[in-house]
Homo-oligomer: A and B are copies of this chain.
């Protein structure tokens, strides 16, 4: 792999990228770590070497082959074009360019071929979108999905390292009976849950839900799938879970679903009724695979076309850092 830059290197996703470079044995010819002026000047150890964190500026991309952006939409809008002009291919983890024409939106297990059509920027989908579609796409290939109804149980990590820390400190405050003021979220997160705090559109869906709908259509190249989503933040640290109700074009059985998913890349079936073992965020944490379980025939669809399932996937890993690195791996191999 050539020269890799990571913008947002000190954030939760940036740190996970550094961890994954080690765990996957990826050794870029050069590694440039970038962050805001506030974080620049520190250093991160990768492959046993201290790598300095430099300030993210438009001039920081000279010689860079691949630039993963995980520094928020504003930073992507401010600096991604500069990285492209400098000759880098940008893999952007923000939502800034996801729905833009000419920007492929890629889950490597779903639509790797779209990587070829980039014009400098490839977008990494929303974390909840990725985690859902790791389980849905292998089924859609065999028996087209007609309708998806999903309710999410999203971890604090989706709002960054500060939010994860806030969940912990706020929980300690509640246990100690101390007053606290929420900062990362507009509502208390400890021992509470709330509707995802993104703005609502005129249709009443919040931005996170709209992402799950629109991004799935783009990734699947199929606008015809009827999708509804309800996105909820829960007091979990870093793995998202989702309850997914699927209607298929033709009848399908839980046994067929299990057989298909057993052969799907990036998916592990955790569905042991006797042991009471199903996907849980603490089991998905730190794992590459999305865990899928509670696979059952939807009894509300007597025609046999319905399946219920429950998934958990690491938001920082497959939901963000891993998927971005896989895209860079695809680019480097092509």
Chain A interface (Cβ < 8 Å from any Cβ of B): 147-149, 151, 153, 167-168, 171-172, 175, 186-188, 191-195, 197, 200, 203-205, 213, 226-228, 230, 232, 234-237, 241, 243, 245, 254, 273, 276, 278-282, 293-302, 306, 308, 310
Residues of chain B within 8 A (CB-CB) of A276 are 186, 195, 197
CB distance from A250 to the nearest CB of B (A): 19
Residues of chain B within 8 A (CB-CB) of A230 are 151, 243, 245, 294, 308, 310
Q: Which residue of B is nearest A175, CB measured? A: B172
Q: Which residue of B is nearest A228, CB measured? A: B300
Say yes or no: A280 contacts B228, CB within 8 Å.
no
Residues of chain B within 8 A (CB-CB) of A306 are 228
Query: Could you say how many copies of this chain the assembly holds?
Result: 2
Residues of chain B within 8 A (CB-CB) of A227 are 299-300
Q: Which of A186, A191, A213 has the most CB of B within 10 A?
A: A191
Residues of chain B within 8 A (CB-CB) of A226 are 299-302
CB distance from A174 to the nearest CB of B (A): 8
Say yes or no: A192 contacts B151, CB within 8 Å.
no
Say yes or no: A236 contacts B294, CB within 8 Å.
no
Say yes or no: B236 contacts A191, CB within 8 Å.
yes
Say yes or no: B149 contacts A282, CB within 8 Å.
no
Say yes or no: A299 contacts B236, CB within 8 Å.
no
Residues of chain B within 8 A (CB-CB) of A148 are 300
Say yes or no: A308 contacts B228, CB within 8 Å.
yes
Q: Which residue of B is nearest A146, CB measured? A: B300
